[in-house]
Structure 1
C-alpha cells in the first residue's frame, strides 16, 4: 500500500470515529435534556397538587368561618326593614 493510501485510510478512520463520537455525545445531551423535561413536569404536577390542596383547605376554612359568623346581611337588612 502506498503512503497516500495509508493516509487516506487513516483519515477516513479518524473521520468515522469522530462522527460516531459526536453522534453519541449528541444523543447523551438530548437524552439528558429530555430527562430534565420529565423532572420539570413532575415538579409542575407536584406544585399543582399542592396548590389544589391549599385551595381546598382555604375553601373549607372560608366555609367554616362563614358558618361561625353571625349573618351580618340579614341583621342589617332586618333592622333596615323594621326601621322603614
Structure 2
C-alpha cells in the first residue's frame, strides 16, 4: 500500500469511529431527555394529587366554619328576647 492510500484509510477509519461515537452519545442524551420527561410527568401528577387533596381539605374546612358560624348566629338569635 502506498503512503497516501494508508493515510486515506486511517482518516476514513477515524471519521467512521468518530461518527459512530457521536451517534451513541446523541442516543444516550435522547434517552436521558426522554427519561427526565417521564420523571417530570410523574412529579406533575403527584403535585396535582396533592393540590386536589389540599383543595378538598380547604372545602371541608370552609363548610365546617360556615356551619359553625350559622349555628352561632342561630343561638345568638334565639337568646335575644
- Which TM bucket (shorter chain)? 0.7 to 0.9
2:70 matched to which residue of 1?
70
1:29 matched to which residue of 2?
29
Q: CA deviation at 1:19?
A: 0.1
Q: CA deviation at 1:66?
A: 1.2
Gaps of 5+ in 2: 77-81
2:55 matched to which residue of 1?
55
* Aligned length, in residue pairs: 74
Gaps of 5+ in 1: 76-84
Q: CA deviation at 1:70?
A: 2.3
Distance in 2 (CA, whole Å) between partners of 1:70 and 1:42 is: 42
Q: CA deviation at 1:31?
A: 1.1
2:79 matched to which residue of 1?
none
Distance in 2 (CA, whole Å) between partners of 1:70 and 1:52 is: 27
Q: CA deviation at 1:25?
A: 0.4
1:78 matched to which residue of 2?
none
2:6 matched to which residue of 1?
6
- Over the aligned positions, Cα root-mean-square deviation in angstroms equals 1.7
Q: Please give the TM-score of this superposition, normalised by the length of structure 2.
A: 0.82
